[in-house]
Amino acid sequence: MDPSEVEFLAEKEMVKIIPNFSLDKIYLIGGDLGPFNPGLSVGVPLWLALNLKQRQKCRIVPPEWMDVEKLEEIRELERREDTFTPVPSPYYMELTKLLLNHASDNIPKADEIRTLVKDIWDTRIAKLRLSADSFINQQEAHAKLDNLTLMEINTTRTFLLDSLNCMYKLRSNLMPGASKGKSSMDF
């Protein structure tokens, strides 16, 4: 998948906004939204929130996990554990990027949040690399990783699958005719 496709999927996440206009309930294919009343918060998908923000029709409320202390805790936890810890949201990276690019004036301490989320991301990607490395070295047939988000998987997917394919071809050519255990790739 393309990273932009993953971002597109992330835009379906709900965020809270405070509109400055009023509109009755709207009925969209994906669900009902509204009604919108000025000053009252309402939950909308991220794509609509960003569009309204750019047209200066609303104020975006940052999600609860987008807070300096909470993110610091998550970062510490991530650094301590060897496996992946639960993430605040399955699309935390995309949400951070989109909200900080378009609505950074509604998010307090935006710079620190950006640094903290980047730290969490770096730690998790490092763990992913280590785990892929050990998987290949020990020529295991099966691996199970919890709590990975789609964006993280997407960074290694093409490379890992292609390289495993190549290694399989090389190994099977070493022993012509003998089928030496199929390495199944279950993630």
Instruction: Name the residues that contact other proteins, by CB under 8 A.
Output: 20, 55-57, 100, 104-105, 107-111
Nearer to other proteins, 56 or 137 (CB): 56
66 token code pair: 């987008």
Nearer to other proteins, 89 or 104 (CB): 104
Shortest distance in whole angstroms from residue 34 CB to other proteins:
19
Shortest distance in whole angstroms from residue 156 CB to other proteins:
30
Nearer to other proteins, 56 or 179 (CB): 56
Shortest distance in whole angstroms from residue 50 CB to other proteins:
14
Shortest distance in whole angstroms from residue 184 CB to other proteins:
47
183 token code pair: 């390495």
Q: What is the C-alpha to C-alpha distance for residues 8 and 16, in angstroms, rounded to an integer?
A: 18
- 84: amino acid identity, one letter: F
Shortest distance in whole angstroms from residue 21 CB to other proteins:
11
Nearer to other proteins, 42 or 100 (CB): 100
Nearer to other proteins, 66 or 87 (CB): 66
